[in-house]
Each structure stands twice: as C-alpha cells, then as structure tokens.
Amino acid sequence: MKKGILVVSFGTTYENTRKLCIESTENRIKEKFKDYEVKRAFTSQMVIERLKKRDGIKINNVEEALENMINEGFEEIYIQSLHIIPGHEYEKMHRQIDSFKEKYNFKNIKVGKPLLSDEEDYAEVVEAVDIKDLKESEAIIFMGHGTDHVSDNCYSRLEDKFGEKGFKNVYVATVEGNETIEDIIPLLKERKIEKVKLMPFMLVAGDHAINDMAGNEEDSWKNRLLKEGFKVETYVKGLGENEKIRDIFVSHLDSIIK
C-alpha cells in the first residue's frame, strides 16, 4: 500500500523563512516517517498565486495536492497541519479535504491537529519556547496573527499558561485579534517594565514579523514601544525554526499514524 503525508501550512512568499520554517519541519517529518512520501500544500491562495506569478513556483492547495496524490496511487494519506490555531485557515483545509473525499469517495485520510489544540499543547509550547534570564524590568511580547474566529482565545490561553509557569511578564498580542499591542502597553507601564523583547508567534517570520513587528514604519510595534519610552529588542525568527516546536507537530502526526 502506497502511503503518503501531506504537510499543510498557510504558506509564505519569503523564500528564506520558507526554508527555515516550513521546509525544515517537512524534513523533520521525512526523518521520522521514512516509509512515507511527504508532499506540501498551502492554504493561502494569495500566496500560491503570488509565488506562481513572481517566482514561477507551483505550490498546490490542499484539494489539488490530494488529487495529485490519488493520481499517483496513494491509498493511505495522513495530513499534518502546521497552522498555529484551529481557525479559519485550518477550517479551510478541512473543507478542501471534505470536498476531495466526497468527489473521489476516498475515506482513508487522517488529519493531525494544529499547534495549539489540546491543553497539553500549551504546556509543551511554553516549554519549547524556553524563556531564560528574563529580568523583572523586562518583558517578552509574542506577536500572534489573531483572528475574528472563536479560536482567537487560544492566544489568551497561551498567555495564561506562561503566567501559570511563572512567566508573569510574557504577553501574547495579535495583529488582527482581540488583544493588541495597545492593550499590552498600559500593563507594561503598570509593572514598570523598561525593556521589551518582541518575538513572532507564527510559523514563519514573514511580512507581519518583518514589517508590522520589527519594521521601521511609524506604526510598527517596535516604534510604538520606542515612542512610549521602552527599550526594544526584536527577534525575527518563526516558530518553525525551533526544533522543539517542530517536534510538537511531529508528535501530533505520530498520534494519528499509530
């Protein structure tokens, strides 16, 4: 029986972070599951179209990738999401899977959960991030994407988990979600924070991390904080560069293959 794994992420148009975060995770999966052929799909049609037009790179969406796999003779398919939360993109992935299953009457598919799904995931992620040497006058703010989906509460749950583990000055703000950088600034002042470390809480360090978080534009998070009198350090690395985060995705996949 021909068995395959489809690794699904939102995608990115940045080649370097694609290799560091997405390809590295795919390679970790290939190392772990040597008897399976590993394929790639993106959920962002905008990213897919831009890569095709700008770079001549063809990336399949989920349904296209599954159709190719069935045409190549795969009889058993496992799908691992590299999404951070079970939000709109994760649901889009499932819609495309369901459409494929209905069209081809293909039932032998299992799907691995995103990074933040079960309660144990939050504890594992806090441990994986491995915060060290944070002084009382310092804070870390993670930039999550955020969403109008109910799963936006995953970010506040993660922040709570950091607090439970003793990291009182670790915050999770979002670009498009309920809690933004403007909600965090008063808390920083209240706790007399002097220095802020900004880090993306996204699979890849793409446009949001490079421009919205660490960019030189007036409304970037870095410049908003500098304007408020804080010292700021920026770390532009996606979660996919973290070996322990990659291992969490692998464990999610392992749980559906067993």
What residues are annotated to the active site? 145
Closest CA to 151 of 182, 113, 186: 113
Longest Cα separation, the chain: 62
Q: Tell the residue number behind the tokens 């992935």, with chain if given.
A: 93
CA dist., res. 125 & res. 192, Å (int): 27
CA distances (Å), origin 129, targets 81, 123, 224: 20, 10, 25
CA dist., res. 19 & res. 53, Å (int): 19
Q: Tell the residue number behind the tokens 């490079």, with chain if given.
A: 210
| Alpha carbon 170 to its chain's center | 18
Instruction: Show the tokens assigned to 255.
Output: 């749980």
SS3 202: coil
Tell me the sheet residues that pair with 8: 41, 81
Dihedral sign, Cα of residue 175, residue 42, residue 53, residue 214: positive
